[in-house]
Structure 1
Amino acid sequence: MDGKGRALDNIYIERFWKSIKYVKIYLNPPNGGLNLYQMIKEYIEFYNKKRRHTEIGKVVPDQIYNAKKMAS
Structure 2
Amino acid sequence: MPIEEMLVKVKGNLKIEDDSMDLLITDVIQECLNYCNLTEPPVELEPFIRRKVKTIMDYEAETGGKRYLT
TMscore range, shorter length: 0.3 to 0.5
TM-score by length of 1: 0.39
TM-score w.r.t. length of structure 2: 0.40
Query: Which structure carries more relative contact order (alpha carbon 8 Å, separation 6+)?
Result: 2
